[in-house]
Amino acid sequence: MAHNHTHGSPYSRLEERLNRFPQGAPASKLLFDILKILMTEREAGLMAQLPIKPFNASKAAEIWKISESEARKVLDELASRAILVDMEQNGEQVYAVPPPMAGFFEFSLMRIREDIDQKALSELFHQYISVEEDFMRDLVCSGDIQLGRIFAQEPQIPDEYALHVLDYERATNVIDTASSIGVSMCYCRHKALHAGTVCDAPMDICMTFNTTASTLIKHGHARQIDASECKDLLSQAYEHNLVQFGENVRRNVNFICNCCSCCCEALLAIRRFGVAQTICSNFIAKVVKEKCIGCGKCEKICPVNAIEMTGEGRERKASVIPDKCIGCGVCIRNCPAKSLLLEPRPNRMITPLDTTHRIIAMATERGKLQELIFDNKVLFSHRLLGGVLGAILKLPGMQKSFAQKQLKSRYIEEMISRASGEK
Sheet strands (E) in 231-328: 243-247, 255-259, 283-287, 307-310, 317-320
| Residue 177: inside a domain | yes
How far is Cα 99 from Cα 83, in angstroms, rounded to an integer?
10
Q: The pTM is what?
A: 0.91
In this structure, are 361 and 410 located in the same domain? yes
So what's the pLDDT on residue 383?
Answer: 63
Question: At CA 83, angle to CA 80 and CA 86, rounded to 5?
Answer: 60
Boundaries of domain holding 204: 141-344
How far is Cα 273 from Cα 350, in angstroms, rounded to an integer?
19
| Residue 133: inside a domain | no
**What's the pLDDT tens digit per position in 382-395?**
666 677 777 777 77
Mean pLDDT across the stretch 163-178?
93
Return the minimum-mean-pLDDT range out of 180-184, 192-196, 273-277.
273-277
| Residue 295: inside a domain | yes
How far is Cα 257 from Cα 149, in angstroms, rounded to an integer?
10
Mean pLDDT across the stretch 42-53?
93
So what's the pLDDT on residue 385?
Answer: 66
| Residue 350: inside a domain | no
In this structure, are 182 and 79 located in the same domain? no
Residue 338 has pLDDT above 70, yes or no: yes
**What's the pLDDT tens digit per position in 349-404?**
889 999 888 888 888 888 888 777 776 444 455 666 677 777 777 777 777 887 87
Return the minimum-mean-pLDDT range out of 35-44, 266-275, 347-356, 390-399.
390-399
CATH code assigned at 27: 1.10.10.10
Domain total in the chain: 3
Task: Read off the pLDDT band of 20 (50, 70, 90).
Answer: confident
- Which element (helix H / strand E) includes 61? helix 57-64
Q: What is the largest CA-CA distance in the chain?
A: 77
DSSP state of 198: -
In this structure, are 219 and 321 located in the same domain? yes
Higher per-residue pLDDT: 410 or 254: 254
| Residue 334: inside a domain | yes
Taken in order 318, 321, 324, 330, the sign of the CA dihedral is positive
Long-range contacts of residues 17-21, Cβ cutoff 8 Å, at least 24 apart? 17/47, 17/48, 17/49, 17/50, 17/97, 18/99, 18/100, 20/52, 20/368, 20/371, 20/372, 20/375, 21/52, 21/99, 21/100, 21/368
Question: Across the strands, what pairs with 257?
Answer: 245
Type of residue found at 167: D
CATH code assigned at 246: 3.30.70.20
**What's the pLDDT tens digit per position in 306-323?**
999 999 988 999 999 999
So what's the pLDDT on residue 248?
Answer: 96
| Residue 2: inside a domain | no
Question: Across the strands, what pairs with 259?
Answer: 243
Q: How far apart are the first and last CA of the chain?
A: 50
| Residue 131: inside a domain | no
Coil vs helix vs strand at 93 = strand
**Burial of 6 per CB tally in 10 Å (0-12, 13-18, 19+):** exposed
Indicate left, alpha or beta for 9 from its phi (over 0: left) and psi (-120 to 50: alpha). beta
pLDDT above 70 as % of the chain: 93
Taken in order 207, 211, 217, 220, the sign of the CA dihedral is negative
In this structure, are 259 and 309 located in the same domain? yes
In this structure, are 377 and 306 located in the same domain? no
Task: Read off the pLDDT band of 91 (50, 70, 90).
Answer: confident
Average pLDDT, the chain: 90
In this structure, are 268 and 312 located in the same domain? yes
Higher per-residue pLDDT: 23 or 214: 214
- Residue 203, CB-side half-sphere exposure with 13 Å CA sphere: 14
In this structure, are 372 and 318 located in the same domain? no
In this structure, are 209 and 312 located in the same domain? yes
Last residue of a domain, one of 72, 94, 113: 113
Residues ≥6 apart with Cβ < 8 Å to 107: 82, 83, 98, 216, 221
In this structure, are 201 and 96 located in the same domain? no
In this structure, are 197 and 340 located in the same domain? yes
Mean pLDDT across the stretch 97-125?
94
Task: Let me know: does 313 contact 302? Beta carbons within 8 Å.
Answer: no
How far is Cα 259 from Cα 186, in angstroms, rounded to an integer?
9
How far is Cα 1 from Cα 181, in angstroms, rounded to an integer?
39
In this structure, are 340 and 359 located in the same domain? no
Task: Read off the pLDDT band of 405 (50, 70, 90).
Answer: confident
In this structure, are 329 and 394 located in the same domain? no
